[in-house]
């Protein structure tokens, strides 16, 4: 068998093999015409091999610090993720990360449908979802990133800023619907509970915590996002809102500070402690969980190689990324935190 025949047979095999998805030569006749025109068949073989690597170009072009990817994050975490992405892409000029912000339900669907390789969520994948991905030869990797909390907010004119844990629970169960049930002296009427989205992680958290049926009480109303919750509560004295503390926790962020000036952050008692103590979602009370409505934020990746998504997760969970978390008023998940108590 001469060299041309060897190369010709290789091309035919390659064109029928999934390992060479981008090979365009699919029959013996075409391959013979191509090779017959080549003066040096060995060089021709190298050129053919190069043309058959199109399926792996993304891997060759993408590294943990270089590439162009899209990630999806729960809208509740937009402030912290925007900062992490901005810092990472300015440190690594060849990295481009586009973050899309959606309700929790939608970003998990995006991951399962392979629309994105990385998501940021307060909800882990279920066992069934993990198994589904494994059946498609994908291993989902979950990495803890930070601790967040859900803040209960009220109108500036509302003086009832201390609410017991069980009262919040009874509101979700439909047992408490009036401000007079919280404070008999209140001049306000019915309570309107405002949350960000019917598919959000914020409302899902409380429904799971209080074992609420799928149907919420009729005094619960959804808007579109966390900023809209702040806006609604700031204009309606009878409203009680639910937002991620991430939107009001960064004291150096002008947007966060503009929000905090519009509303009150309600202090909540602990579930089984009746010593008259109430806690707001500050870093210290999130860290030691004295504030009852805390949660963890996760990166979930389905990358099959060490690409840009992996590099971004490593950055965000390493020292530099965790310092950004600390500055944003949240609690780092992978860096030790030192609490300092100041006595007056």
Average pLDDT of the segment spanning 39-43: 47
Is residue 288 over pLDDT 60?
A: yes
- How far is 326 from 226, CA to CA, in rounded Å? 21
DSSP 66: B
Q: Can you say whether the dihedral through the CA atoms of 91, 310, 323, 209 is positive or negative?
A: positive
Confidence of residue 252 (pLDDT cuts 50, 70, 90): confident
Q: Residue 339's closest CA among 288, 281, 294?
A: 288
Cα-based distances in Å from 248 to 132, 257, 281, 315, 317 = 37, 7, 10, 24, 22
- The residue-averaged pLDDT of 293-312 equals 96
Of residues 261, 265, 244, the one with CA closest to residue 195? 244
What percentage of the chain carries pLDDT values higher than 90? 73
* CB-based contact 119:111 (threshold 8 Å): yes
188-226 pLDDT, tens digit each: 999 999 999 999 999 999 999 999 987 899 999 999 999
Q: For position 50, what pLDDT does the model report?
A: 44
Q: Is the model's pLDDT at 53 over the cut of 90?
A: no
Cα 43 from Cα 89, distance rounded (Å): 40
How high is the pLDDT of residue 199?
Answer: 94
CA distances in angstroms from 319 to 19, 110, 145, 335, listed in the order given? 40, 29, 11, 7
The closest of 262, 243, 257 to 158, measured between CA atoms, is: 262
* Most confident segment among 50-59, 267-276, 278-287: 278-287
Checking if the pLDDT of 314 tops 60, the result is yes
Helix (H, G, I), strand (E, B) or coil at 161: coil
pTM, full prediction:
0.79
To which residue do tokens 């991951």 refer? 111
- Of the ranges 21-25, 205-209, 314-318, which one carries the lowest mean pLDDT score? 21-25
pLDDT digits (tens, 9 = 90+) for 223-240: 999 999 999 999 999 999
Q: Quote the tokens at residue 160.
A: 């009832």
Helices (H), 270-344: 283-287, 308-317, 319-327
Q: What pLDDT shows up at residue 214? A: 78
Dihedral angle computed from the Cα positions of residues 175, 181, 187 and 192, in that order, rounded to the nearest 10 degrees: -20
Distance CA 310, CA 304 (A): 10
């Amino acid at each position: 068998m001469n060299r041309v025949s060897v190369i010709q047979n290789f091309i035919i095999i390659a064109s029928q093999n999934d390992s060479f998805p981008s090979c365009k030569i699919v029959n013996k006749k075409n391959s013979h015409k191509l090779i017959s025109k080549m003066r040096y068949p060995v060089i021709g073989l190298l050129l053919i091999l190069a043309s058959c690597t199109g399926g792996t170009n993304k891997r060759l072009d993408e590294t943990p610090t270089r590439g162009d990817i899209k990630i999806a994050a729960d809208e509740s975490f937009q402030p912290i993720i925007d900062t992490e992405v901005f810092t990472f892409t300015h440190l690594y000029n060849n990295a481009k990360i586009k973050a899309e912000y959606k309700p929790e339900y939608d970003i998990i669907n995006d991951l399962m449908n392979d629309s994105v390789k990385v998501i940021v969520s307060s909800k882990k994948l279920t066992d069934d979802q993990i198994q589904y991905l494994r059946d498609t030869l994908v291993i989902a990797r979950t990495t803890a990133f930070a601790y967040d909390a859900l803040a209960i907010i009220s109108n500036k004119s509302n003086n009832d800023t201390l609410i017991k844990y069980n009262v919040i629970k009874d509101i979700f169960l439909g047992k408490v619907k009036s401000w007079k049930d919280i404070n008999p002296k209140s001049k306000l009427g019915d309570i309107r509970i405002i949350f960000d989205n019917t598919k959000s992680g914020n409302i899902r958290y409380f429904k799971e915590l209080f074992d609420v049926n799928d149907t919420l009480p009729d005094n619960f109303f959804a808007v579109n996002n966390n900023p809209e919750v702040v806006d609604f509560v700031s204009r309606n004295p009878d409203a009680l809102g639910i937002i991620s503390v991430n939107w009001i926790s960064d004291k150096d962020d002008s947007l966060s500070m503009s929000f905090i000036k519009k509303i009150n952050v309600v202090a909540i008692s602990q579930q089984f402690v009746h010593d008259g103590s109430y806690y707001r979602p500050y870093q210290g009370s999130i860290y030691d969980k004295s504030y009852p409505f805390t949660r963890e934020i996760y990166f979930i990746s389905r990358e099959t190689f060490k690409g840009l998504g992996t590099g971004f997760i490593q950055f965000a969970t390493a020292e530099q990324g965790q310092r950004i978390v600390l500055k944003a008023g949240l609690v780092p998940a992978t860096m030790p935190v030192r609490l300092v108590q100041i006595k007056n």
